Structure 1
Amino acid sequence: MSIPALTMNDGRSIPQLGFGVWQITGGKTVPTVLTALEAGYRHIDTAAAYGNERGVGQAIRESGVPRDELFVTTKLDTTDMGRARAALEDSLNALGLDHVDLYLIHWPVPRHRRRFDAWAAMEQAQDEGLARSIGVSNFTLRYLQEIVDLGGTVPAVNQIEYHPSYQQRTLQAFAAEQGILTEAHSPLGMGAGPRDRTITQIAQQHDVTPAQVILRWHLEQSRVAIPKSVTPSRIVENITVTGFELTADDIAAIDALDTGKYLGWDPEHV
């Protein structure tokens, strides 16, 4: 299955659909990631805070998929902001890899300024090849602007909560002006999006599922999306989004669902 890709500002390519592993832990991690890789995913998104890097690494090894065909993302835990380089090495050891394709600051943590030290350490890690690309996660416009204003490496990606009921269009527009890709976590609205009446009607018109409509909406608006599921049929469903296109009316109808209310955590309070 051919997954579309986008080019980041450092010239590297990132698959537009990835597989997220938040809250997939214990004995579920290896078989679930193996199912995703067998379904055709080549972009796996994990984090130190998820506690499943070791299982992700085991699944990668057991899958037999060549490392150069995979795009692996992990994230710096908020408790490790003062030791970003060492934390990345810990993650690499857990994953059993000599580099990740993308390393992200997981949260900006407004109560202190360690994100700046973390960013400097991540720039060094990129220079050393431990992380091919570096970026941020859950950064609002204010915090993204701060990193850009440092005048060094511009983040390749800002991974944020983005789904039909919470569309951060102003933030995505600012990021695009800086050459920063927007990556949607919780792209299906934590399960709420596929139950929306507008989306189910669009799905019926295209003879696809509501989840496929939402993921197609992300792709057509130049976002990376990382859906998560532990159900094999849904894992396959979520990657099968390249055989149809939404109309301008479809996109406008989904755009109109924005409530401006997030479902996850507020970056100002993490």
Structure 2
Amino acid sequence: MPWELIKLNSGYHNNHIPSIGLGTWTLDNSQGPIDQDEQAPDNAHGYNHIGTVQAYRNEEEKGVALKETGLSRSDVFVMTKCSSINSLDIPTSIKNSLNSPGVLDVDLYLVHSPCLAVPNIPTYWAQMEKAMGLFDNLTCDHKSIGISNIEVQHMETLMASAQIKPARQKSILEYATKN
């Protein structure tokens, strides 16, 4: 079952994200061994998008699960969220994600939450835009940045200063408006 692809605003070719992805919030290494089969994308059913989060400490497990599937890297879309845990700056945070054992290239790097955007949303987003240069040596074609868990007032603040505008999933907006 192919999922709708959403165009990202990064400027890279092949910059589309599958609209459905597996979030892995509670699946971290603090809960003991993880069944890698349950963590891997299921390409036979059209599933090819996996999300991880630094703060949940689950990047390594998902990277290992992806490697064990034997899927080509181009068959899987990998997203992670920058949490700036331990007060790390954004470039250090991104490097930590990319250097985590088992982690493959990251296609999309998100701001986890506007409440973590210190000192403010425009400054934080500008650092994310600058950090795009860290992706230059990756083998994936997407190399995009974005936002999550954001409210209207945060989005308005971000859009007023962003050089790279975050993509919006219009079908979800239409659905939310109707319901």
Question: Normalising by the residue count of structure 2, what TM-score does the alignment of the two structures yield?
Answer: 0.78
For structure 1, the residue ranges without an aligned partner over 5 or more in a row are: 156-179, 183-220, 225-250, 257-270
Counterpart in the other structure of 1:108: 114
Counterpart in the other structure of 1:189: none
Q: Quick check: 1:123–1:134 contact (8 Å CA) kept in 2?
A: yes
Counterpart in the other structure of 1:15: 18
Counterpart in the other structure of 1:133: 144
Aligned residue pair count: 167
Correspondence list, 1:1-270, <5 A: 1-10=1-10, 12-25=15-28, 26-28=32-34, 30-34=36-40, 36-37=42-43, 39-79=45-85, 82-94=88-100, 96-97=102-103, 99-109=105-115, 112-129=118-135, 132-155=143-166, 180-182=167-169, 222-223=171-172, 255-256=178-179
For structure 2, the residue ranges without an aligned partner over 5 or more in a row are: 137-141
* Range 130-139 or range 27-36, more displaced: 27-36
Measure how far apart 1:88 and its partner are: 0.9
Cα shift readout 1:111-154 (whole Å, capped 9, x = no counterpart): 95254443223212223426711011111111111111114221
2: distance between equivalents of 1:17 and 1:109? 25
Q: Quick check: 2:6–2:18 contact (8 Å CA) kept in 1?
A: yes
Q: Secondary structure at the match of 1:126?
A: helix
- Opposite residue 8 of structure 1, the aligned amino acid is L
Q: Quick check: 2:60–2:103 contact (8 Å CA) kept in 1?
A: no
2: distance between equivalents of 1:129 and 1:83? 16
Runs of 4+, deviation exceeding 6 Å: none
Q: Identity across aligned pairs (percent)? A: 31
Counterpart in the other structure of 2:139: none
Name which structure has the greater RCO, CA cutoff 8 Å, separation 6+.
2
Measure how far apart 1:94 and its partner are: 1.7
- Opposite residue 22 of structure 2, the aligned amino acid is F
2: distance between equivalents of 1:58 and 1:141? 36
Larger radius of gyration: 1
Identify if the C-alpha distance between structure 1 residues 37 and 54 changes in structure 2 by more than 3 Å, giving closer, same or farther.
farther
Measure how far apart 1:223 and its partner are: 3.5
Measure how far apart 1:97 and its partner are: 4.2
Question: Normalising by the residue count of structure 1, what TM-score does the alignment of the two structures yield?
Answer: 0.54
